[in-house]
Chains A and B, each alone.
Chain A
Amino acid sequence: MLFRVFDQGELPILFSALTARHEVIGPVEAGVDRHGKPFYAFEPATDFRALRLAYTTTKLPAKRYFLPCREDLATFRTSGSDWSKTVEYNVDRPRVFFGLHACDINALNKLDKVLTGGDYPMPWYAAKRRNMFIVGVDCEPQPSCFCRSMGADTALSGFDLFLTGIGDRYFAEILSNNAYNLLRGIRAVEPGEEEHVLYRRAVAEKTRKYTARVDTTDLTKILDMEFESPVWKSWGEKCLSCGSCAAVCPTCYCYGVEETVDIDLSVARKTKTLYSCNLVDFAQVAGGHNFRPESHSRLKYRYYHKHRGFVEAYEESLCTGCGRCGETCLAGINVPDVIASVRGEGGA
């Protein structure tokens, strides 16, 4: 990995170099909540002053730009009884993400494992993923953040450039040739021992600020042991089966497929819609049988997929610890509390 250090005043130059040719998505303020606290969203940005690089976790992840909620997988044109199928990957240009936190970059890395790996990589995601330029920024842990427990508090790969503030300068990690070229346009120098110390201090300071944590020791085993645990039922009683947790999760990717015909009968579409395993008909089959009819069995499956199945397959969990699901859940269901209760530490 290459490192550089530059003045914070140089950042607008980098930004405008990117906006000059590309669509840039970055964190902007999206409103103020009922407690008077601002909240943020990833939106297309053209003005550096609109960016809020010191933002706290956005309510919704950047997922809609690479895993849209609805996407046509194919269209069909018919003539008589014959038809032809056209598959479009729905991407025609690269996109820049300016200011992703480590957890959200790790979310992409996790998605890469399942969606671009295996025998059947998923082209709609891969096409978008391969055409990204990502600038990461450091962050301040919020009370809901437990990324450190999930090993997602630092990003080791999956970005082009990562910026950590050290005083009035940025400590930049360079992962790609594109990022290297970009930095050549500004005044950036190689860090010395002094900057290394400052960087380590910044990281240590961040690490001290975590309040939420999840104990993942032996978690796959414990989840198996506690499959029949009564705590699932008590969480299930609270759960609204609303799927908000999956909608705001940067790593949830499951979906349903529907085929439709346009009302003028000109084309048929095969449309993918992101789904949530908490929704009542997630595991329902034709004829009405539902493999997970109760809300607690669906909620339990959510934890199984994230903290057991994915770990078994990829040796890491499908959760970055970003805390969005817990923040959004009206019923107050959140990962640290659920896992603690399954481990028998504190009740549901």
Chain B
Amino acid sequence: MAAGGTKSWLGAPLLRPRVAFFELTSCGGCQLQVLNHEGTLLDFLSLVEVTDFREAMTERSHEYDIAFVEGCVSRSDEVARLRQIRRNARTLVALGSCACFGGVPRMKNRFPDPGLLAREIYGEYPMATETVRALDEIVPVDLKVHGCPFPKEELEKVVLHIALGKAIETPRHPICFECKANGNVCLFDLGELCLGPVTRGGCSAWCPGNRFGCWGCRGPADDANLDSLRAIAKEHGFSGEDLADRLECFGGFTPREAPEPSPRRKSRKRGTR
């Protein structure tokens, strides 16, 4: 670490990206997770320059290098906002399951009459809500930080890797591997349902570690074998509905809309050095 505030690694100064955080439709849990860094918060903040929220929303581009966007898109004003963010940011990071695939709010899409649902939730003051969509159904997304909430280590890693100029890899395999590595006994053996075999790893098997079946908040693993899980669940006495409900909960396993075409900007590449 070099003196004078500029940090370096092996003699090379680190990139200090300007970052901005945005919230669309979400529960705020992910934002808590950003602040929930306890011992490492200061180190985390010293790697980046957090841009003021309003300043970040001005028309001038390149006010920030990285936009972290949490929440899904459920209103037309959010669509416009997201497009603006995309234009201004070199790197757009979808933060948490809502941003990555719609999250819990996506379940709303199941109800045929959105107006009815809106009245039920918002009472006499209905808000104009559309179908819930993930960020990448509207604009191209450069990186996804999965989970509801995402593990804070994953966000730290993203920021650190950008500062160091390293590529960012998310685990591609299912949760089971980490679950077994942690010494857990499989919940199927204990008579419970678990989505671990098809869900993307990286959470260190939080839920199964606490004897709580996985609900798939991190979305599908690469090459997830859903057919096989269906057969397994059936064999273990769980109804197809039990499984379907779970798969739908966080939106990760729900079929997606194709992203709207939008020209990829060249300059964005520089955001990750």
Contact = CB atoms under 8 A, between A and B. Distances in A.
B181 interface: yes
Contact of A81 (B10, B160, B174, B197): B10
Interface in B224-244: 224-225, 227-229, 231-232
B190 A33 contact: yes
Interface string A216-249: 0000000000000000000001111111101110
B263 interface: no
Interface in B158-183: 160, 164, 172-174, 176-177, 180-183
A265 interface: yes
Contacts of B79: none
Contacts of B221: 241, 280
Contact of A331 (B10, B180, B232): B232
Contacts of B186: 59, 244, 328, 330
Contacts of B189: 33-34, 39, 59
A274 interface: yes
B174 A241 contact: yes
A240 B180 contact: no
Interface residues of A, number: 41
A329 to B, nearest CB: 10
A202 to B, nearest CB: 31
A281 B172 contact: yes
Contacts of B36: none
A279 interface: yes
Interface in B129-176: 156-157, 160, 164, 172-174, 176
A256 to B, nearest CB: 11
B11 A31 contact: no
Nearest to B190: A34
Contacts of B229: 240, 330
A34 B188 CA distance: 8
Given A41-B183, A240-B225, A280 B188 contact: no
23 contacts: A33-B189, A34-B190, A59-B185, A60-B180, A80-B10, A80-B11, A240-B176, A240-B197, A240-B224, A240-B225, A241-B225, A247-B176, A261-B9, A261-B164, A263-B43, A263-B44, A263-B156, A264-B43, A279-B172, A279-B177, A281-B222, A330-B186, A331-B231
Interface of A: 30-31, 33-34, 39, 41, 59-60, 64, 69-70, 78, 80-81, 83, 237-244, 246-248, 260-261, 263-266, 274, 276, 279-281, 295, 328, 330-331
